[in-house]
């Protein structure tokens, strides 16, 4: 029998149930100080960067059969890196710059539907029927489809200009 439970309570006979469970840990759960969520989702663990992984601060990842507990900060940072890689690959496949004005700063670039049917296309992709099918969903879809010509890269200015100018960018209008 270990010297301590995973929360650090000593493994003395008065601290143990006959089944081997820890009495102080059970008392904490009964009092509501420690919830079952904390127990199940990695209470007492830290992520690779030393952040506490407890309750709402925890994301569970299963990768190649191994369960990992990751804090929200590290999970969100990893997701942002993944989203940026997908965006860079998509923008690169369509020339790496705005198809209208030539802007090349990745932060300003977006994927545009050439036929001006983006809103209805995103709604059809979304399970909820709203416009939740943009961004990362579109970058992955374009990659899966082999970067078809129905999309193009525009900067946000040209994209909004096209939207407010009946499908034609103001740069082209001049």
- Three-state DSSP at 132 gives coil
Cα–Cα distance for residue pair 118/67, rounded to 1 Å:
38
The answer to whether residue 69 is domain-embedded is: no
In a domain, residue 26? The reply is yes
Is there a domain that residue 108 lies in? yes
Asked if residue 99 belongs to a domain, the reply is yes
**pLDDT 10s digit of each residue in the chain, 174 long?**
567 776 667 878 887 777 677 777 776 666 555 444 444 444 566 766 677 766 666 677 776 777 676 777 888 888 899 999 999 999 999 999 999 999 999 999 999 999 888 878 877 776 655 556 678 888 988 999 999 999 999 999 999 998 888 888 888 766
In a domain, 25, yes or no: yes
Query: Domain range spanning residue 18?
Result: 1-34
User: Residue 107: inside a domain, yes or no?
Assistant: yes
Residues contacting 61, CB < 8 A, separation 6+ = 67, 68, 69, 70, 75
Number of domains present in the structure of the chain: 2
Report pLDDT for 89: 96
Residues with Cβ within 8 Å of residue 115, at least 6 apart in sequence: 150
Whole-number pLDDT of residue 28: 63
Residue 163: predicted pLDDT: 86
Output the pTM of the full model. Answer: 0.64
Pairing between strand 45-46 and 58-63? Answer: unpaired
Give strand ranges (E) for 2-117: 45-46, 52-53, 58-63, 66-71, 109-113
Host H or E run for residue 152: strand 151-155
> Does residue 81 fall inside a structural domain?
no
């Amino acid at each position: 029998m270990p010297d301590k439970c995973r929360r650090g309570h000593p493994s003395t006979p008065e601290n143990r149930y006959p089944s081997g469970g820890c009495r102080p840990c059970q008392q904490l759960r009964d009092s509501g100080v420690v919830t079952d969520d904390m127990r199940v989702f990695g209470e007492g663990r830290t992520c690779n960067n030393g952040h506490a992984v407890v309750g709402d601060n925890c994301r569970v990842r299963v990768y190649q059969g191994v369960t990992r507990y990751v804090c929200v900060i590290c999970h969100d940072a990893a997701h942002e890196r993944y989203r940026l890689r997908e965006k860079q690959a998509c923008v690169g496949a369509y020339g790496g710059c705005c198809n209208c004005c030539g802007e090349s700063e990745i932060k300003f670039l977006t994927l545009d539907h050439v036929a001006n049917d983006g809103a209805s296309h995103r709604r059809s992709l979304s399970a909820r029927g709203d416009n939740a099918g943009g961004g990362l969903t579109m970058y992955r879809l374009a990659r899966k489809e082999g970067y078809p010509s129905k999309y193009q890269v525009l900067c946000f200015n040209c994209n909004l200009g096209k939207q407010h100018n009946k499908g034609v960018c103001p740069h082209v209008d001049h």
